[in-house]
Amino acid sequence: MTATENPTNYKWVGTRPIRHDGFDKVVGKARFGADLNLPGQLHGAFVRSPHAHARIVSIDTSAAEAMPGVKAVVTGDDFPALDPTHPNYDTAVNCMARGEAFYHGHAVAAVAATTKAEAKAAAAAVEVEYEVLPAVLSIADSMADGAPLANPNNHTKFAPPGDPSNLATITNLDRGDVDQAMADADVVVEMGFDCAHVHQGYIEPHACVVDYGDGKANVWCSSQGHFRVRSMTADVLGVDNSKVKVVPAEIGGGFGGKTTIYLEPIAAKLSEKSGKPVKITMTREEVLRGSGPAPSAELRIKIGATKDGELTAIDGWMAYGVGAFSDMAGLIGAMSVASYKFPNLRMETYTALTNTPKSAAYRAPSAPHAAWAIESVVDEVATELGMDPIDLRLKNAAVEGDLTAMGMPHPRVGLVECLEALKASDHYQSEPAEGSSRGMAVGFWFNIGEESSATVNLNEDGTANVITGSPDIGGSRASMALMAAETLGIDVYSITPIVADTESVGFTDVTEGSRATFATGKAVVEACEDLIEQLKARAATIMGVDVGEVAWVDGAAVSPGHGGGEGGDPLTLAQITAQAKRTGGPLTATASLNAAGAGPSFAVHCADLKVDEETGEIEIVRYTAVQDAGTAIHPSYVEGQMQGGSVQGIGWALNEEYIYNADGAMENASFLDYRIPVASDLPLIETIIVEVPNPAHPYGVRGVGETGIVPPMATIGNAVKAATGVRMTSLPMSPPKVLKRLNER
Amino acid sequence: MHYVAPTTVGEACSLLADNPGSRVFAGATDLVPQMRTGRLEPSVMVDLKRIDRLMSVSHADGRWTIGAATPASDLTHNAAFTAMHPGISEGAGLIGSDQIQNRSSLGGNLCNGSPAADSVPGMIAAGARAVIAGAGGERTIPVADVVTGPGQTSLAADEFIVEFEIDDPPANTGDAYLRMIPRTEMDIAVVGAAVRLTMDGDTVSAAGVVLGAVAPTAVRVPEAEAALVGSSLDADTLAAVAAAASAACNPIDDKRGTIEYRTQVAGVLAKRAAAIAAERAQNGA
Amino acid sequence: MTQHRAFTGGEAVVQASGATVGQVIDDLEATYPGLGRALRAGSSAGIDGEIHADPEYVRVGVDTEIYFLAPVVGG
Amino acid sequence: MSRTHINCIVNGEPTDFLAADATSLLDALRDELGLIGTKEGCGTGDCGSCSVLVDGKLNCSCLILAPEAEGREITTVEGIADGDQLHPLQQTFLEGAALQCGICTPGFLVAAKALLDANPDPTETEIRYGLAGNLCRCTGYDKIVRAVQEAAVQLNSTSKQGV
């Protein structure tokens, strides 16, 4: 369903072809990170810290090296010492500890052996002596006066040089006079919230194979961006980028968690030492203990409003717990406060280190925490004012020119359109089903541009290869092909979209920030536009006319002076490529760019749910996600992003959490007890795509990957409040927590 | 580790007796994950699924005989068994996904020794017996006497359960099993409650109430049974059942639930299961 | 960020000149020592309504408003 | 390390392979037979990515020891299509965009096939519970459920035409 029809009548953009890589993925032929095996390949296994924080006194690898099948053992000593100010210093230390283990599960050594079982046995035989150090495990512990340092290498960013600190950022954003506005407000609501660490939960564990030879590491792995894998791996190994080649495998989910590396330099060093290819695949337990979850957070939000529903001021305190390495989560969380006009705003934010795994990006990183708190408080304001929650938001919704928390004016955005679409929807217009109650909330994400490259090669029969460096995480090959088909005017199935390795296409940033369809798509369109100019010139040669007299219409060159037809006989793309040899050789074009003008995306979600007041269970009976896609290139995959983001948010809202014991070890490191939603937990997820085109993209794309995870937690919390009168303030809203609050009612 | 698949009970007994550190298995849905994480390192894995007697379900002489290695799906898809013992069938049917259902067995679910085993409370409420084989021959004991603590059973190292015997219920009897899990599937019970009632008109003439996941083993709740017998399941009775069930709890705080939560919800589930069991008893399950 | 105001004597909006964002930062550094380094620690900027990653050489005009942002990435 | 010689039928073909007894059927399929369509998501039976049919019944191949396969018939995702003719489930997954990253797709296809083989006309709730052993993190399950519903319709109309 499309609420706002795009006024432009495209032939391909907005259609739903079968994805080009689909066949291989339904017959089991697609090769993901763990699916390559090389002759003579060894298997790697890690030794991981059993302590949340410890000095590594010694590592004795002799027993492991003597075990059957063992070909190589590496520790931190095998890697060059990077300068602590190097941008990938933390990544290097996270891949393999150097003298100090910063969390339970931190890699301290690795072995390579002939079989998986031998590698596992040898890893268990590596003897590590630890001196246990004091650990900080919570945000409060981290920020307490006199707290031990989680990581002595951390210094507060944006601050004058000083002593090491547990705080990675201390930042304040403000505008107006918050204190006066609060004093003048008719209604003031203030509440505190907290969120546990959660994991992206991609189904494919991290995996790679590295074949080292002739001074070069040849890496096969799944990631959200193989050029970043290349530079990070090269930096950790202390070699030039030219000494690392990364071939992208299909990626089995990332959601931000595969924008960094864990395995590749370790496998490379094991391969270098053993002289054989080395494959490493994480177990699920290792993924949960040793990769990067999203931050935890503690937040306090105060909002003031006039009695007629103007939100006049917001006063926020936010602290994000990011694990053992520097991050900017607190600042980004504050910057994501962008949905309402708020003439007066003050955000005091902290990014706190804890001795837990190094946070990684997770879909709209930092925004879900902030939105959970703010949208809950906005809901309380609506209740106090007796206003419909959509009407209150419509009255205050940010439009073009309104300021984000950072102080920058919004470009053209579609929040009002999204709110109106939900208000008009069948869902919102219908009463909740018997026994269920309703909640809604808003989410925002910036989206980003950054660097992309695309090469488009026209084949002699008029088909085309579209080569990019953006891994296909959820249908992007089809989107690239659609934009190329639209631009060139040829059939989408005559295009072969290719994700090329780091030596076969121009540099392309990692797929994050919902940027692939926007930025890489823009490069594809620019390359196609370049080709059209070339095609027109070739056509002019064939037609014997001046190139200025040739136009490109529906995949063909036309010149009024050519042929007998009215307006000229068209010369199709295939007719031109057939004569390429006679007119100057192959037709190819490359475009590379650093895309500015990413279009922010808003989402509005609505849930109807039931609460079992005797057990605290929440059952979601109806769910609708509305989102501004700019333009939906392939609507099925836009809906898929909205639905997937919604359900990840539902999992975050209901049951997902890292449960640590007193020693900082994760107690629920399995898919049995880290409870991501299963099919029977959910209703169908209704979608409404709103299309407010982004003027900075040739087809209006905003990017849709991330915003969908921002609204669900508050949407559900608001519905629970409507159902029970209880305002949940702690994530997840698991049955024990809900029942406890119901008991206290 | 070596794998062996005997085809007779005697052969299996010999293998266990001759191989210290050996383990029998059926579905291995718990054992294999324990092996993968290194928590379990058996010398020999004795696969019981090639022994016909352990893989059969039969009904004769007023009782069901269920092979201990029979997959749960064979029970839940057995219409006659499910009609007669719906509470046991639905307990077995809650052990994991469809994938797990095709592997997990009553024998494994019991001998794994988890207090949260979904099929166990219903079997105890029904007075089921376990037939145990060992080097010294066979013996039969109540299912309630098999598990002695978390991960612990009363079986000797060379013994294993061959089959379960479940007598046909008296007339006008119904049972039910309910559990609380955070999701709708794929979780381990946070609380489980089985209730079996025999009705004389509107009055309960016999009752069995057994809770799972709230104590080191599944526990029978005599106080709840006493409250039920002679009652017509009025609100006061159900409140008394809930209170007795909560009082019988001796749970732990862990990643799956709190003491407070388990204690409260045990009462809720016992009361709800009683209502379902009564309805089944009266409607002639 | 208010942290930047430590360098500007409390001013949130300041004037500077230059033909590119980098030149503007250099001009600010000359006026407010330390501010340039702090601004370059964040590597993106909002310029005329569009966010630019690493905008060192983005050209600016007389009335251009530049908003220095943290480097938003995303998942 | 000694290995056992195992004979079984894989995707209709008599097959044999060698594997250490502790090897999972999943690893044997992937590493010994090169059938990489079956995926490991957890290794503990909690995600369903490694779903296969054993004698027609849905199982997690990560929980099965390789020697257990002796004499059994194993069907993997590679055995679902009839040559180049996709199974209706594969076709409806493609047409309905029921896969995003695709890592869980093989397991879902095998599980959905088992579901429809046993219950040709399932309700939405039956589909959701029938597939509850398969985790998908990309789609929110919506398009998967719809694709299974559509495949059921197609299979039923085909079987009716055949009568």
Domain ranges of chain B: 2-167, 173-282
Last residue of a domain, one of D79, D110, D139: D79
Mean pLDDT of the region A570-575: 96
For residue A668, list chain B residues with Cβ-Cβ distance below 8 A. 255
CA A653 vs. chain centroid, Å, equals 18
For residue A671, list chain B residues with Cβ-Cβ distance below 8 A. 186
* Mean pLDDT taken over chain C: 82
Cα–Cα distance measured from residue A588 to residue A561, given in angstroms and rounded to the nearest whole number: 27
- Same domain? D58 vs D95: no
Mean pLDDT of the region A398-408: 92
φ, ψ (nearest 5 deg) of residue B215:
-160, 175
Taking a C-beta distance cutoff of 8 angstroms, is the pair B218, B124 a contact? yes
Q: Is the peptide bond before A160 cis (omega within 30 degrees of 0)?
A: no
Which chains have 3 or more CB–CB distances shorter than 8 Å to chain C?
A: A
CA separation (Å) from D73 to B71, B263, C22, C64, D10? 17, 46, 68, 71, 6
What stretch of H or E contains A207? strand A207-213
Mean pLDDT of the region A432-447: 96
- Domain enclosing residue D132, as ranges: 88-158
Q: Domain B173-282 carries which CATH code?
A: 3.30.390.50
pLDDT of residue A426: 98
The SS3 assignment for A161 reads coil
- Report which of A229, A238, A225, A231 is spatially closest to residue A209, judged by C-alpha positions: A229
Token representation of residue A106: 């931190």
CA A672 vs. chain centroid, Å, equals 24
> Which C-chain residues 54-73 have CB contacts (< 8 A) with chain A?
54, 58, 67, 69-73
Give per-residue burial for D3-32: e unless 16+ CB within 10 Å, then b: ebebebbbbeeebebebbbbbbbbbbbbbb
Give per-residue burial for B115-148: e unless 16+ CB within 10 Å, then b: bbbbbbbbbbbbebbbbbbbeeeeeeeebbebbe
CA separation (Å) from C19 to C23, C51, C68? 6, 18, 16
- Count of structural domains, chain D: 2
Q: Mapped to the 3 state alphabet, what secondary structure does D6-51 carry?
A: EEEEECCEEEEEEECCCCEHHHHHHHHCCCCCCCCCCCCCCCCCCE
What is the per-residue pLDDT across A648-664, written as a single tens digit (0 to 9) for each?
Answer: 999 999 999 999 999 99
pLDDT of residue C37: 80
Cα–Cα distance measured from residue A297 to residue A138, given in angstroms and rounded to the nearest whole number: 9
Cα–Cα distance measured from residue A483 to residue A501, given in angstroms and rounded to the nearest whole number: 22
- Same domain? D109 vs D134: yes
For residue A684, list chain D residues with Cβ-Cβ distance below 8 A. 124, 142, 145-146
- Report which of A606, A612, A618, A626 is spatially closest to residue A689, judged by C-alpha positions: A626
CA distance D87 to chain B (A): 21
D163 assigned to some structural domain: no
Token representation of residue A14: 């907005």
CATH of C2-69, one of 3.20.20.210, 3.40.50.300, 3.10.20.30, 3.50.50.60: 3.10.20.30
- Same domain? D57 vs D114: no
What stretch of H or E contains A123? helix A116-125
Greater confidence, A141 or D2?
Answer: A141
D68 assigned to some structural domain: yes
CA B205 vs. chain centroid, Å, equals 24
- Report which of A2, A745, A13, A475 is spatially closest to residue D143, judged by C-alpha positions: A475
**B9 phi-psi bin (left φ>0, alpha ψ -120 to 50, beta other):** alpha
pLDDT of residue D156: 94
- Same domain? D110 vs D154: yes
D51 assigned to some structural domain: yes
Using the predicted structure, report yes or no on whether residue A4 has a pLDDT greater than 60. Answer: no
pLDDT tens over chain B, length 285 residues = 999 999 999 999 999 999 999 999 999 999 999 998 888 999 999 999 999 999 999 999 999 999 999 999 999 999 999 999 999 999 999 999 999 999 999 999 999 999 999 999 999 999 999 999 998 899 999 999 999 999 999 999 999 999 999 999 999 999 999 999 999 999 999 999 999 999 999 999 999 999 999 999 999 999 999 999 999 999 999 999 999 999 999 999 999 999 999 999 999 999 999 999 999 999 864
What is the per-residue pLDDT across C5-18, written as a single tens digit (0 to 9) for each?
Answer: 778 887 878 888 89
Cα–Cα distance measured from residue A289 to residue A357, given in angstroms and rounded to the nearest whole number: 7
pLDDT of residue D160: 67
CA distance A672 to chain B (A): 6
The SS3 assignment for B41 reads coil
CA separation (Å) from A503 to A477, A509, A644, D58? 19, 14, 33, 43
pLDDT of residue A566: 72
- Same domain? D9 vs D75: yes
For residue B1, list chain D residues with Cβ-Cβ distance below 8 A. 21-22
Q: Mapped to the 3 state alphabet, what secondary structure does A213-239 carry?
A: ECCEEEEEECCCCHHHHHHHHHHHHCC
- Same domain? D8 vs D74: yes
Task: Domains for chain A: give ranges and CATH numbers.
Answer: 449-595 (3.30.365.10)
φ, ψ (nearest 5 deg) of residue A397:
-60, 140
CA distance D117 to chain B (A): 13
This model's pTM is above 0.90: yes
Is A738 in CB contact (< 8 Å) with chain B? no
Searching chain B, which residue's CA lies closest to the CA of residue A614?
B268
CA distance A50 to chain D (A): 21
Q: pLDDT band for C46, please (50, 70, 90 cuts).
A: confident
- Looking up tokens 């035409």 gives D161
Using the predicted structure, report yes or no on whether residue D162 has a pLDDT greater than 70. Answer: no
**CB nearest to B265's CB, from A120, A124, A615:** A615
pLDDT of residue A563: 77
What is the per-residue pLDDT across A716-726, written as a single tens digit (0 to 9) for each?
Answer: 999 999 999 99
Using the predicted structure, report yes or no on whether residue A345 has a pLDDT greater than 60. Answer: yes
Last residue of a domain, one of D22, D52, D79: D79
Pairs across A and B, CB distance < 8 A: 59
Q: pLDDT band for D83, please (50, 70, 90 cuts).
A: confident
Mean pLDDT of the region C23-44: 84
**CB nearest to B261's CB, from A285, A670, A739:** A739
Using the predicted structure, report yes or no on whether residue A454 has a pLDDT greater than 80. Answer: yes
* Mean pLDDT taken over chain A: 96
Is A474 in CB contact (< 8 Å) with chain C? no
**Partner-chain contact A205 D40, CB within 8 Å:** yes
Cα–Cα distance measured from residue A73 to residue D116, given in angstroms and rounded to the nearest whole number: 49
**CB nearest to C1's CB, from A171, A254, A332:** A171
For residue C50, list chain A residues with Cβ-Cβ distance below 8 A. 411, 596-598, 696
Residue A469's contacts (CB-CB under 8 Å, 6 or more residues apart) are A225, A226, A227, A452, A453, A499, A500, A502, A505, A506, A507, A508, A520
pLDDT of residue D67: 97
Cα–Cα distance measured from residue A326 to residue A328, given in angstroms and rounded to the nearest whole number: 7
User: Taking the C-alpha atoms of A30, A33, A34 and A36 in order, what is their torsion angle to the nearest 10 degrees?
Assistant: 70
- CATH number, domain of D27, equals 3.10.20.30
Beta bridge partners of A592: A453
pLDDT of residue C42: 65
What ipTM score was computed for the predicted complex, to two decimals? 0.96
According to DSSP, the β-strands at A601-611 and A107-113 are unpaired
Cα–Cα distance measured from residue A717 to residue A728, given in angstroms and rounded to the nearest whole number: 6
- CATH number, domain of D113, equals 1.10.150.120
Residue D82's contacts (CB-CB under 8 Å, 6 or more residues apart) are none
Cα–Cα distance measured from residue A724 to residue A740, given in angstroms and rounded to the nearest whole number: 13
What is the per-residue pLDDT across D125-158, written as a single tens digit (0 to 9) for each?
Answer: 999 999 999 999 999 999 999 999 999 999 999 8
- Report which of A640, A645, A636 is spatially closest to residue A605, judged by C-alpha positions: A645
Angle between helices A415-424 and A389-396 (to 10 degrees): 160
Using the predicted structure, report yes or no on whether residue D163 has a pLDDT greater than 70. Answer: no
Domain B2-167 adopts which CATH fold?
Answer: 3.30.465
Q: What is the largest CA-CA distance in chain A?
A: 88
Is A255 in CB contact (< 8 Å) with chain C? yes
Q: Which of A609, A656, A675 to mutate to test the interface with B (most CBs of B within 10 A)?
A: A675
Cα–Cα distance measured from residue B228 to residue B210, given in angstroms and rounded to the nearest whole number: 13
Token representation of residue B103: 């592997």
pLDDT of residue D161: 62
- Report which of A401, A523, A409 is spatially closest to residue A455, judged by C-alpha positions: A523
**CB nearest to B33's CB, from D45, D65, D132:** D45
Is B186 in CB contact (< 8 Å) with chain A? yes
Last residue of a domain, one of D44, D79, D114: D79
Cα–Cα distance measured from residue A716 to residue A608, given in angstroms and rounded to the nearest whole number: 8
Cα–Cα distance measured from residue A248 to residue B56, given in angstroms and rounded to the nearest whole number: 50
CA distance A596 to chain C (A): 5
Cα–Cα distance measured from residue B37 to residue B24, given in angstroms and rounded to the nearest whole number: 19
What stretch of H or E contains B132? strand B129-134
- Report which of D88, D92, D94, D102 is spatially closest to residue D49, judged by C-alpha positions: D102
The SS3 assignment for A434 reads coil
Taking a C-beta distance cutoff of 8 angstroms, is the pair A448, A702 a contact? no
Cα–Cα distance measured from residue D92 to residue D101, given in angstroms and rounded to the nearest whole number: 16
